[in-house]
Amino acid sequence: MSNLSDSVLSHVSLGTNDYPRAKAFYDAVLATLQVKCVMDFEGGAGYGRKFPEFWIQRPYDGQAATTGNGVHISFMANSIDEVKAFHATALKLGGKDDGPPDFRKEYSDNYYAAFVRDLDGNKIEAMLMVKA
């Protein structure tokens, strides 16, 4: 039985020090990308379009959540408007700008993205490849 798929990742998790606040943040921010909470348990939630691919949760070891320098999570958007909504919603809910919506020519002529820091300082991105 094969478990191969088009994706190379099963899921990604980010720790949080304030789960209720982080859940409210991600519920609103990821909704701009048509992503919703598909699994929820005390202290953690899994988000996706069909199954949980992105998780937020209190660290399993009970220690404080910390950010990783150079680490970021990128979410696929369906349109430039979704990237803009992702960025605006994140900032409205207390996220910090880490790169406004724009083309990123350093990656590709058609790479459109926005970057923010979530409430725990994690770097998150929404992006899409704009068809020429």
| pLDDT tens track for 37-73 | 999 999 999 999 999 999 999 998 999 999 888 889 9
| Domains observed in the chain | 12-59+72-129 (3.10.180.10)
Q: Do residues 7 and 37 lie in contact, with contact meaning Cβ atoms separated by under 8 Å? A: no
Q: What is the pLDDT of residues 10-27, one digit of tens each?
A: 799 999 999 999 999 999
Give Cα 86 distance to the centre of its chain.
9
Handedness of CA 93, 108, 50, 15 (dihedral sign): negative
Does the pLDDT at position 101 exceed 80? yes
pTM exceeds 0.85 for this model: yes
Mean pLDDT across the stretch 104-108? 92
Q: What percent of the chain has pLDDT over 90?
A: 82
Residues 6+ apart with CB under 8 A from 98: 115, 116, 117, 123
Closest CA to 83 of 128, 41, 45, 18: 128
77 or 7, higher pLDDT = 77
Average pLDDT taken over every residue of the chain: 92
List the Cα angle 51/5/83 in 5-degree steps.
Answer: 55
State residue 5's pLDDT score: 57
Closest listed residue to residue 118, CA positions, set 47, 62, 49, 50: 47
Q: Which H, E and C letters describe 97-128, residue by residue?
A: EEEEEEECCCCCCCEEEEEEECCCCCEEEEEE
